[in-house]
Amino acid sequence: MPHASDESRQPLVLLVEDDPQDALIVEELLADSGFAVRLEWVRSVDAARRALHRLRPQCVLLDLGLPDAYEFSALSTVLEEAGDAAVVVLTGLAEEQAGLAAVTAGAQDYLVKGRVEPEWLGRSLRYAMQRKQAEQAAVALHAERMRAKENARLERGLLPTPLLQNMPIEVATRYRASRGSATLGGDFFDVVESDDKAVHAVIGDVCGHGPDEAALGVCLRIAWRALVLSGVTGAALLRRLERILEAERPGGEIFVTMTTLVLEPDQRTLRLWRAGHPGMLLHDGDQVTLADPGQSLALGLPVEADWHQDVLELPEDAGITLYTDGLFERRLPGEPPRWLGEEGLLDLARRHAHLDGEGFLDALLADVESVTAPEAAADDLAVVHLRWKARS
C-alpha cells in the first residue's frame, strides 16, 4: 500500500464524464497504465467548474458529449477555469475530427473512446501535462521579455543622459527598483545645461509603483527638460508641471514630490524650489551635511500651493546629492521598530565623504542595504550626485 504522503504527490486527474460505464473504463485503464494518479470524477460541466476551483487538478479528462454542454461549450468552460491544468478531451468513434478541433482550440491532446490502451492513456496524460508546462513556460518567457522591453523604454525616459555642454560639473546617478516590482516605478531625475551656462537638475517621485506611475514620471521628466530649455524655471516651472500632472495622471489621488534647482555659473550659488520632497546632502571636501531648506506642498494636492525659492551659498568645489525617499525610509532590523531616516543616512554618508561621485554613491547604497532589514527595499529609489570639478 502506498503511503498517504506518496499519494499526495501523485498528479490529480479530474474526469468529467456523464456515463458511469465509461468512467469505470477510464479508471481501470489508469490502474493498468503504470502511471500513478489520483482520480476525481464529476458528471457535468457545472460540477467540473466547481471541482476545478476546489481541487486544482494537474490534468482534466473531458468528455465533449456532456448533457449540459453544446458543441464546444464544455471545452471553452474548462479551458477558462483550468488554470495550470492540462486538458485532454475524450471523443466517440465518430467524433475524431472534434478531437482535432479541440486541440486547435487549446486542449493538449485528445483520445478516442474504444481505441485507448492503458499504456497509451498513461503516456497521453503524462505528455499533456508536460506540454502544458512547456506552454506556460513559453508564455512566461514571452511576458518577461515584453516586461524587459517595456522596462527598457521606461528606463530611457526616466533615467536620461545628462545634457551638458561646457560647465565643469561631474554627474553620477543611481536607480534601484523596489524588490518584487516587475517594472520601474515613478522616481525620475534629469540634469541639463541651459544657454546661459546654468546647470539645472530635478529629482521627483510619483506616488505609487508600476507602469502607470513610471509613464507619468517619464512625461513629467520630459516636460521638465523642455520647459527648462525654453527658459522656464522656479515656481512658474512647477505650476506648469502641476497642470501637466493633473491632465495626465490616471487618478486624482496621484501626487508628485519634486526638487528642482539651478546651479549658477559662478559655481557658488544654488537656487532651489522644493515641492514636498526630502532634503539633500551638501559636500564640502571631506565633510557632508544635511540641507533641509524650506519647502512647499507636493504637486497635485487639492490645495493651492506657492513654491518659494531658497538660495544656498556653496563652498568651492562643492557637491550635492539629491535622492528620493526610498533611500532612507527603510526599517532597521530589531525591535522595537526603528527607521534609518535622513539623519541615519547622513551618518552613513559621512563615512564616504572623501570619495568621488561614483564611488560615493556605490558605497552609500551598499551601506544602506547592509544596515537595513532585508525586506526594507519596498520602494524605488533614485540618487543624483552633482559636483563641481576642482579648479586648476
Distance CA 56, CA 153 (A): 38
For residue 2, the model assigns a pLDDT of 47
Helix (H, G, I), strand (E, B) or coil at 228: helix
**CATH 3.30.420.10 corresponds to the domain 159-388:** no
Residues 6 or more apart whose Cβ sits within 8 Å of residue 92:
65, 112, 113, 114
Q: What is the 3-state secondary structure (H, E, C) of 67-107?
A: CCCCCCHHHHHHHHHCCCCEEEEEECHHHHHHHHHHHHHCC
For residue 266, the model assigns a pLDDT of 92
For residue 391, the model assigns a pLDDT of 66
CATH topology of domain 7-140: Rossmann fold (3.40.50)
Burial class (CB in 10 A: 0-12, 13-18, 19+), 99: buried
Answering whether pTM is above 0.95, one says no
For residue 1, the model assigns a pLDDT of 42
For residue 286, the model assigns a pLDDT of 87
Query: Do you find a cis peptide bond into 337, omega within 30 degrees of 0?
Result: no
For residue 8, the model assigns a pLDDT of 65
Indicate the pLDDT class of residue 239, thresholds 50, 70 and 90.
very high
Give Cα separations from 192 to 184, 242, 325, 345 (angstroms): 22, 20, 23, 27
Looking at the chain, which residues constitute the CATH 3.60.40.10 domain(s)?
A: 159-388
The candidate with the shortest Cα–Cα distance to 87, out of 78, 96, 95, is 78
pLDDT at 183 over 80: no
Percent of all residues in the chain with a pLDDT value above 70, rounded to a whole number: 90
For residue 282, the model assigns a pLDDT of 96
- Bridge partners of 256, per DSSP, are 206, 299
Residue 384: phi and psi, rounded to 5, are -130, 125
Residue entry with cell 506540454: 131
Span 329-381, pLDDT tens digits: 998 888 888 899 999 999 999 999 999 999 999 999 999 999 988 765 667 88
The region of weakest confidence among 18-27, 60-69, 268-277, 351-360 is 60-69
Give the N- to C-terminal CA distance of the chain in Å, as an integer.
87
> Order of strands across the sheet with 12-16?
38-42, 12-16, 59-63, 86-91, 109-112
DSSP letter at 163?
A: B
Would you state the cell numbers that stand for residue 138, as one nine-digit string?
Answer: 513559453
pLDDT at 6 over 70: no
Burial class (CB in 10 A: 0-12, 13-18, 19+), 42: buried
> Quick one: average pLDDT of 316-321?
90
Helix (H, G, I), strand (E, B) or coil at 204: strand
Residue type, 209: H
Q: Quick one: which H or E segment has residue 158?
A: helix 118-158
Distance CA 286, CA 23 (A): 81
For residue 310, the model assigns a pLDDT of 95
Q: CB–CB of 352/360 below 8 Å?
A: yes
pLDDT at 72 over 90: no
Distance CA 239, CA 234 (A): 9
Would you state the cell numbers that stand for residue 327, as one nine-digit string?
Answer: 533611500
For residue 229, the model assigns a pLDDT of 95
Distance CA 146, CA 218 (A): 19
The candidate with the shortest Cα–Cα distance to 275, out of 250, 241, 248, is 241
- Bridge partners of 15, per DSSP, are 41, 61
Helix (H, G, I), strand (E, B) or coil at 161: coil
The overall average pLDDT reported for the chain is 87
For residue 274, the model assigns a pLDDT of 96
Span 143-179, pLDDT tens digits: 667 666 666 666 666 678 889 988 899 999 998 877 6
> For 300-307, which contacts have Cβ atoms below 8 Å and span 24 or more sequence positions?
300/242, 300/245, 300/246, 300/249, 300/254, 300/255, 300/256, 301/255, 302/252, 305/242, 305/275, 306/235, 307/234, 307/235, 307/238, 307/239, 307/273, 307/274, 307/275
Name the range with the highest mean pLDDT among 18-27, 150-159, 290-299, 353-362.
353-362
